[in-house]
Structure 1
Amino acid sequence: MTAAPSYVHGASAQPLLGDTLGSLIDRIAAAHPDRPALVVRAQNVRMSYRQFHAEVECVAAGLLALGLQRGDRVGIWSANRAEWVVLQFAAPKAGLILVNINPAYRTHELEYSLNKVACRALVLPRRFKTSHYLDMLGELAPELADSAPGTLNATRLPDLREVILLDEVPAAGTRSWRQLVALGDAAALARLHALEPELGFDDPVNIQFTSGTTGAPKGATLTHHNIINNAYFIGQAMRLTEHDRLCIPVPFYHCFGMVLGNLACVTHGACMVIPGEGFDALATLETVAAERCTGLHGVPTMFIAELEHPEFGRFDLGSLRTGIMAGSPCPIEVMRRVVSEMHMEQVTIAYGMTETSPVSFQTVPEDPLERRVGSVGRIHPQLEVKLVDEQGRIVPRGKPGELCTRGYSVMLGYWGDEARTREVIDAARWMHTGDLAVIDEDGYCSIVGRLKDMIIRGGENVYPREIEEFLYTHPKVQDVQVFGVPDAKFGEQVCAWIRLREGSRASVAEIQDYCRHHLAYFKVPYHVRFVDAFPMTVTGKVQKYLMRQAMLEELASPGEAAR
């Protein structure tokens, strides 16, 4: 008997939502005005949906009062804070496009991101941990110190005009968040309410940068319709209701925090509970116990850190039932411990990519544990997926093929880059993910590899080509190849093989420091090797799999060579 084709369709009686983010928060706040909406323990913030809605409206009106126009881009460069969540709804309510900027970015990446999408405004804190955001912005825009608020005209950031500082006291050339809120007066609110009926759910609302094998980050452009519906179905798979309280320690700049976390809560009237600006295992455990959270998100590395924390046993986690583990493959023993020791009997696994808003497959509580570990579940409602071979033909069930997604979740495209958009979205609107997958007879999907050499380090996507192109700027580097090697803690680590210029000498620390100053920490090569040549095919193509194999043998041998 011929095997069925690897094509699945999430047929559903549940219609798609026709909301914009503005109409969504209006509707949910009206339905659940006194339910808790947002708890941010590090900032001592507690808001009901009525209060959250009022803050969103004031900020949205304030943004319009600055002179920002429908379709302008507003960047947010910050770790997890209450203001991030408010801006997530306020910017689109005002017809603006929110640009997520990774808080680990350094000046090189910040400059590229702001200029690529022509950001008109940037919201940022003065600092977080060792990242001095305002100082880094000052390196790129020294003109800020001599500018009046709203008049920035920087040579290296020609489109940026407004800088809003998440601080009580504004710095030179900036406004404080409170000053922005204060601009949302009655006149500004009237302008906001007059604008909103003109907005449509197919309008772009969010740009998230995702690096590519061609190096420079690409701005995946998502609509209201993309992310609202994806969040709604994510929440459905988790069985979320207005009585749930979801602990969200994953970063907001990424779809995991923003869509699977914040927006999934709001579409179901649940409460967003934020333990801190960055991930901390102890703070997360304290938050779950103190706030009686019913759900918890995380990548496997986070759950491992929580389970292994020396104080794990003193916390009552009995309120937990659900959550999502995603970002990298989950070891079965970790999943078993999450279910048994953290009481998350209904924990789900999800798979997706930024370009598809992001989730395409997700397990549900009724799936047996083996399915929730050995697969990424079944197709999401209202989506289609097919697996194809190199010729674009659909492969039979049980055979690997490239995963392609079609439906409401597929992004508009990469901002200002039609050529790279056409490389991944074909004429029939199939998004080619570059992931190799298998779909079994019951429709469960397993991810078995990647067409591209993307590295997933602790849930962060790392693209070798971007790091390679940056390392080529080092004066001593002649050639470089970057690839991933397995790591017990992070899933994978970044490894760089480097050929130095003739007569040059360099140390591992020198290369790492050079990267650390310009690139996000998770892109800095953990393993660095200096070599005379790379393994090549007879046609001159570099064989990264042989390099990876050599590293595996080296790392497995006693007395592993020093990095």
Structure 2
Amino acid sequence: MTSAGAPAVPSYTSGISEVPLLGDTIGDNFDRMATAQPDAEALVEVPTGRRWTYGRLREELDTLAMGLLAAGLSKGDRLGIWAPNMAEWTLIQYATAKIGVILVNINPAYRTHELEYVLNQAGISVLVAARSFKTSDYAAMIDEVRPRCPQLRQVVLIGSPEWDALVESGRDGDRTELARLQAQLSPDDPINIQYTSGTTGFPKGATLSHHNILNNGYFVGRLCGYTPADRVCIPVPFYHCFGMVMGNLGATTNGATMVIPAQGFDPKATLAAVARERCSSLYGVPTMFIAELNDPEFDSYDLSSLRTGIMAGSPCPVEVMKQVVDRMGMTEVTICYGMTETSPVSTQTRADDSLDRRVSTVGRVHPHVEIKIVDPETGLTVPRGVPGEFCTRGYSVMLGYWNEPEKTAEAIDQARWMHTGDLAVMDSDGYVNITGRIKDMVIRGGENLYPREIEEFLYTHPDVLDAQVIGVPDARFGEELCAWVTLREGAPALTAEALREFATGKLAHYKIPRYVVIVEEFPMTVTGKIRKVEMRERSVEILGLADAATIRNA
């Protein structure tokens, strides 16, 4: 009888940790930190100069929570937040968590079509919104859709008399009753809904619990080495997990300071905030770091306080990571990989990883999480070094998509593995590289875009017969959208400018294709499936994007 040798090592690993998971709710965890260090700085809003210690922030959170109770909200109700990065966003985030009201994040770039869908799909009863931001007149858009949103009973514009009244109504609230209600909450309760672009034409609401996001923020912060001495500059949007979980919760669970540099990303404002507030950590998608490094006045900012930070949300170019280490002094910068549905982080590089590993992989499995790489056809775990679909399991996997059990079942299998749709390779030491995507999702500057949603919209153009949307390489955003379009007989040629004009005000700006290629027909397989891989290759040639296509990513 002969031996066939040892079987190959499978692409599976789990995050062993001596540090236990937190068993708190978000409110209890914050209160515990505020009691331990009431005089430590918790939040700084640089544009307005407003500052909160942990003790003062706890007082204001309790007041706002009691105001929300006075407005008739209770555990399980949904409150929408539609605003750019501002202190009130953070106040609402923690105040809703204290009373079990589910916070629904609404992308500041949404337009009426998307806003109306989310308000109705989540059953939002109270909407807190900024009056406007950049070119978005939120108040006007809310007025337009409100008659078609029967469950929306109250709108509170930040800074308006209604906002002041909401806060004032909580000042005389019963703190004993607030504490009683807070004590009745479970860490496993749903507390946050974040919408991801939908492959079927509409976004899906990833529903996350206290346990999901509190722990993910905590361990992201721990792997960055956060202590109460750290100050975290957060230019990434709060509506996204990167801002509210990795940023806000990553800071407060470790007693660090949240620093808001501006309402929206601005490279100068970010660099100035780091210098002025002596931030030790800086977050961003690669696009943001590229803009900061290329600022004409970059060398005039004192960034000597920087130690760590996170680059995530989009494939991270190796050369950009090296510059962040060398020119920004972020010697302990980490790369994170994840998705909204997993709270979001599943893998992260560590400060003690070699420079090569830290700039060319997305790291190793997170504490208390399992990951594996499987054959997309069979579902079996592939050997190390073989590409397959990245799957993850553990405390971080969402409860499900809000009111969409069938969609949930498509993403999470019976063993509770989340199937990401991303192609990855795990090396012999457990480090992971993301090599592509099974689904044709496009990641533009940290935004996950699903072509099907955009294609469905393009079909509404009177001259469009058929449309296929793909991602093409872009030096700034990682990927940009390109629409291949076939036109109805006799229709005039459609330019990218004309298409953008048609979509403006109806789609969020980042969903509007930058490029348009008019064709007679699409490349097809012998079985009649669209060959998007071939379309991408041809687009690179047609649009002259060969240089962008050569950029190496982790």
The TM-score normalised by the length of structure 2 is: 0.96
Go from structure 1 to structure 2 and tell me whether the alpha carbon gap of 1:381 and 1:557 turns closer, same or farther (over 3 Å shift): closer
Q: Could you say which residue in structure 1 is the equivalent of 2:420?
A: 433
1:527 to 515, 521, 532: 515
Give the unaligned 5+ runs of structure 2: 1-5, 547-554
- The answer as to 2:72 corresponding to 1:67 is yes
Q: Where does 1:529-548 land on structure 2 (aligned, <5 Å)? A: 529-548=517-536
Tell me the equivalent position of 1:346.
332
Q: 1:418 & 1:194 partners in 2: Cα distance?
A: 32
Q: Does 1:269 align with 2:255?
A: yes
Partner of 1:52: 57
1:298 corresponds, among 284, 290, 301, to 284
User: Separation in 2 of the partners of 1:333 and 1:553?
Assistant: 24
Q: How many angstroms apart in 2 are the aligned matches of 1:13 and 1:317? A: 34
1:395 Cα offset (Å): 0.3
Aligned to 1:361: 347
- Equivalent AA in structure 1 for residue 475 of structure 2: A
1:556 Cα deviation after fit: 2.5
Q: Is the partner of 1:351 in helix, strand or coil?
A: strand
8 Å contact kept, 1:211–1:218: yes
SS at match of 2:125: strand
Partners of 2:185 and 2:168 in 1: CA distance: 24
Percent of aligned pairs sharing the same letter = 59
| Structure 2 counterparts to residues 157-172 of structure 1, below 5 A | 157-167=149-159, 169-170=160-161
**Alignment partners' CA distance in 2, 1:343 and 1:137:** 44
CA–CA separation in structure 2 for the residues paired with 1:378 and 1:94: 35
1:392 aligns with 2:353: no
SS in 2 for 1:99: strand
**Cα separation, 2, equivalents of 1:503 and 1:7:** 56
d(CA) in 2 for partners of 1:444 and 1:110?
39
Could you report, residue by residue, the CA deviation over 1:21-77 in whole angstroms, capped at 9, with x for unpaired residues?
110111010011000000001122100001111111111111010011210000000
Paired with 1:216 and 1:373, the residues of 2 have a C-alpha distance of 35
Answer yes or no: is the 8 Å Cα contact 1:64–1:188 preserved in 2.
Answer: no
Query: Would the aligned equivalents of 2:496 and 2:513 in 1 still touch at CA under 8 Å?
Result: no
Q: Please, what is the CA RMSD of the aligned residues? A: 1.2
1:412 aligns with 2:399: yes
Alignment map for 1:407-486 (pairs within 5 Å): 407-486=394-473
- Name the residue aligned to 2:356: 370
Asked if 1:16 is matched to 2:21, the reply is yes
Q: Give the structure-1-normalised TM-score.
A: 0.94
Question: SS of 1:119's equivalent?
Answer: coil
Asked if residue 289 in structure 1 is aligned to residue 275 in structure 2, the reply is yes
- C-alpha distance in structure 1 between counterparts of 2:388 and 2:428, whole Å: 15
Q: Does 1:553 align with 2:545?
A: no
Secondary structure in structure 2 of the residue aligned to 1:435: strand
From 286, 291, 294, the counterpart of 1:308: 294
Does residue 109 (structure 1) correspond to residue 109 (structure 2)? The answer is: no
Please say if residues 496 and 514 of structure 2, whose CA atoms lie closer than 8 Å, have aligned partners that are also in contact: no
Give the ranges of 4+ consecutive aligned residues of structure 1 lying more than 6 Å apart after TM superposition. Answer: none
Which of 498, 503, 507 is the matching residue for 1:515?
503
Q: Say if 2:44 and 2:259, in contact at 8 Å, map to a contact too.
A: yes
Residue 179 (structure 1) aligned to one of 146, 165, 180: 165
In the aligned structure 2, how far is the partner of 1:81 from the partner of 1:158? 28
Instruction: Determine the structure 1 residue equivalent to 2:202.
Output: 216
Superposed displacement of residue 188, structure 1:
4.3
How far apart are the structure 2 equivalents of 1:307 and 1:548?
29
Q: Is the 8 A contact 1:62 1:188 kept in 2?
A: no
Is 1:249 matched up with 2:241?
no
- Measured after TM superposition, the shift of residue 196 of structure 1 is 1.1
1:484-523 to structure 2, matched below 5 A, reads: 484-505=471-492, 506-523=494-511
Q: Deviations over 1:219-246 (max 9, x none)?
A: 0000000001111110110000001001
- Are 2:473 and 2:545, in contact at CA under 8 Å, matched by a contact in 1? no
Conserved in 1, the CA contact under 8 Å of 2:37 and 2:54? yes
For 2:103, which of 75, 98, 104 is the aligned residue? 98
Distance (Å, rounded) in 2 between the aligned partners of 1:4 and 1:528: 46
What does the per-residue CA deviation read over 1:269-321, in whole Å, with 9 as the maximum and x for residues that have no partner?
00000100000000001000000000000011111111110111111100000
Number of aligned positions between the proteins:
539
Q: Which blocks of at least 5 consecutive residues in structure 1 are unaligned?
A: 142-153, 559-563
CA distance in 2, matches of 1:130, 1:17: 41
- Structure 2 residue aligned with 1:83, among 70, 85, 88? 88
Cα offset for 1:11? 1.5
Deviates more, 1:327-336 or 1:414-423: 327-336
1-structure distance, mates of 2:316, 2:196: 23
Alignment of 1:110-189 (within 5 A): 110-141=115-146, 154=147, 156-167=148-159, 169-170=160-161, 175-176=162-163, 178-189=164-175
Cα distance in 2 for partners of 1:3, 1:441 equals 10
